[in-house]
Structure 1
Amino acid sequence: MPHTDRPAIRLVLRLDFPPADRLGRGKIELLEHIRDTGSISAAGRAMDMSYRRAWLLVDALNGMFDEPAVERQRGGRQGGGAQLTAFGEVLIQRFRAMEAKALEAMGEDLAWLEDQRPRTPAAGARAPSEMPE
């Protein structure tokens, strides 16, 4: 039975592509915001990140695969923008499907782990933000 007095265990999927590329929920969420807003800067603002950081993440995503995930449009009357490519749309769908499969496959084990956690923090326990570095 899950305990309701604290956040539940969360499964987070991250794929590491040798030698140094990574694909995780942050980049996928950025793609979803670009799809919804048509803008890299608006997508970055929605995630509380700078345009530069959002642009660097898009650039990294576009360099990870044979096809780009995002196409930028330059200037014009509306000031440009960005849109997902067909590949970018499929990338989101596939990643979200992998997350769902992983959660389904591990659901029983995650529930068991959740049940092993104390109902309240142990006396003298510190929050992660209070841990020494």
Structure 2
Amino acid sequence: MESYIPKHFDFRVRVFMEEPDFGKGVAQLLSLTREKGSLSAAYKSMGMAASKAWKILKRAEADLGVKLVERRSGGKQGGGSNLTPEGEDILKRYEKFHKEVAEAAKESFLKNFGDLGE
């Protein structure tokens, strides 16, 4: 095979109403928040600054017009975060859509460029 033929590809999948604010980062933040029960634990495990986490979450919520995460203040029981029903729904839909797009992209790449070198 010729040396100029690419062996790898990458793509972004973002969903939005007006601004492309819901993508891989927000999806990962939501998924980890669900898993850990805490937005703080989620962004820390991603190595993300609190300010960035809040910024991308607020932008996605503003664009979609719904709250994605419910936050609970601390106290005796401790604080935490849960996805709203809308947050759960959009995350589930995004993950399914992303998987389908990835499969189609891989198929197209193989058709046009050949083996991925796997």
On whether the aligned pair clears a TM of 0.5, the verdict is yes
Structure showing greater radius of gyration is 1
SS at 1:68's partner residue? Answer: coil
- In the other structure, the counterpart of 2:105 is 106
- For the pair 1:32 / 2:31, whether they are aligned, the reply is yes
- In the other structure, the counterpart of 1:22 is 21
- In the other structure, the counterpart of 1:73 is 72
Aligned residues: CA RMSD: 2.7
SS at 1:22's partner residue? Answer: coil
Deviation at 1:12, TM superposition (A): 2.6
5+ residue gaps, structure 1:
1-6, 120-133
5+ residue gaps, structure 2:
1-6
- For the pair 1:87 / 2:86, whether they are aligned, the reply is yes
The TM-score, its normalising length taken from structure 2, stands at: 0.77
SS at 2:57's partner residue? Answer: helix
Q: Contact 1:9/1:114 (CA < 8 Å) preserved in 2? A: no
Question: Are the structure 2 counterparts of residues 86 and 41 from structure 1 closer, same or farther at C-alpha, using a change threshold of 3 Å?
Answer: same
Q: How many residues are paired up?
A: 113
CA distance in structure 1 between the aligned counterparts of 2:115 and 2:38, rounded to whole angstroms? 44
Question: Are the structure 2 counterparts of residues 12 and 113 from structure 1 closer, same or farther at C-alpha, using a change threshold of 3 Å?
Answer: farther
- For the pair 1:45 / 2:40, whether they are aligned, the reply is no
CA distance in structure 2 between the aligned counterparts of 1:24 and 1:114, rounded to whole angstroms? 26
Deviation at 1:59, TM superposition (A): 1.8
SS at 2:21's partner residue? Answer: strand
CA distance in structure 2 between the aligned counterparts of 1:16 and 1:87, rounded to whole angstroms? 14
CA distance in structure 2 between the aligned counterparts of 1:104 and 1:79, rounded to whole angstroms? 41
Question: Are the structure 2 counterparts of residues 51 and 79 from structure 1 closer, same or farther at C-alpha, using a change threshold of 3 Å?
Answer: farther
Q: Contact 2:73/2:80 (CA < 8 Å) preserved in 1? A: yes
- In the other structure, the counterpart of 1:11 is 11
CA distance in structure 2 between the aligned counterparts of 1:75 and 1:39, rounded to whole angstroms? 11
Percent identity (aligned): 29
Question: Are the structure 2 counterparts of residues 67 and 76 from structure 1 closer, same or farther at C-alpha, using a change threshold of 3 Å?
Answer: same
Question: Are the structure 2 counterparts of residues 78 and 52 from structure 1 closer, same or farther at C-alpha, using a change threshold of 3 Å?
Answer: farther
- In the other structure, the counterpart of 1:57 is 56
Higher strand share: 1
SS at 2:67's partner residue? Answer: coil
